[in-house]
Amino acid sequence: MNGWTRKNGHLVTRLAPQEAAVVRGLVGQIKDMLTARADEAPADELSELTGIRTGPTTPPEDRVMGRLLPDFYRRDPETGESDAEEADAAGAMRSLHEPELLELKTGVAATVLDTCPRDGGTVKLTEEQADSWMSAINDVRLALGTALDIDEDMPEELPEDDLRREHLNVYQWLTWVQDSLVEAMTS
């Protein structure tokens, strides 16, 4: 991949077969994780009548999923809320907003899977599709960053015996792909 360019109103790049496999594989895994979370949503007769969907009231137990679906409510230190009140408010907000966020995240992942050629090749995106790529790649980076414990103190290269080394290379490549897409979108 040589980076994204703008051509005739589209954002274009060419992915090698292994690059396409990495993008498709990781985005597909995130989509599967999010779909599994959506499938855990409680059945709610009222939502069937009103069309207002509800989701779980508790955050995901998995660290990666917790990073992709963070709390929707945090206590304001000046209100004096108790931990129980904060938990109730956070659960109510999650129940209302998580289904929409899951739909959005699985939708952008589906767009990437639909527009990324299985065997590599040219990727040609509209602005809307490029936004989906940005969001989906960001989700993959969040997931990898959480799994690898990436923070600002992590060196750019890890020792050869560090099991995270190859995954860090993928994280860095995805960062470059995302940066290249941002540059092309804003040019």
Q: Are strands 121-125 and 10-15 parallel, antiparallel or unpaired?
A: antiparallel
pLDDT given for residue 29 in this prediction:
98
Mean pLDDT in residue range 5-18: 97
Give the span between the Cα atoms of 94 and 80, in whole angstroms: 21
Q: How high does pLDDT run on average in the chain?
A: 89
State yes or no: pLDDT of 4 exceeds 80: yes
Tell me the pLDDT band of 80, cut-offs 50, 70 and 90. low
Share of the chain above pLDDT 70, in %: 91
User: Looking at the predicted structure, is the pLDDT value of residue 28 above 70?
Assistant: yes
**Tokens 């992709």 identify what position?**
68
Going by pLDDT thresholds of 50, 70 and 90, the confidence category of residue 52 is confident
17-39 and 165-186 helices cross at what angle (nearest 10)?
90
pLDDT tens figures, 91-128: 888 888 899 999 999 999 999 999 999 999 999 999 99
Asked whether residue 145 carries a pLDDT value surpassing 70, the answer given is yes
* Average confidence (pLDDT) over 11-29: 98
What the block records as the tokens of 27 is: 């985005």
The residue among 105, 112, 117 whose CA lies nearest residue 129 is: 112
The dihedral over CA atoms of 130, 135, 136, 142, expressed in degrees to the nearest 10, equals 150
Residue 58, pLDDT score: 87
- At residue 56, does pLDDT exceed 90? no
Q: Where are the domains of the chain?
A: 5-186
Say whether 6 sits in a helix, a strand or coil.
strand
Residue with structure tokens 């779909």? Answer: 35
Q: Which of 140, 148, 149, 135 is nearest to 173 (CA)?
A: 140
Rounded to whole angstroms, the Cα distance separating 137 from 139 reads 5
pLDDT tens sequence across 150-186: 877 776 777 687 776 688 889 999 999 999 999 999 9
Given a contact cutoff of 8 angstroms between Cβ atoms, the answer to whether 164 and 130 are in contact is no
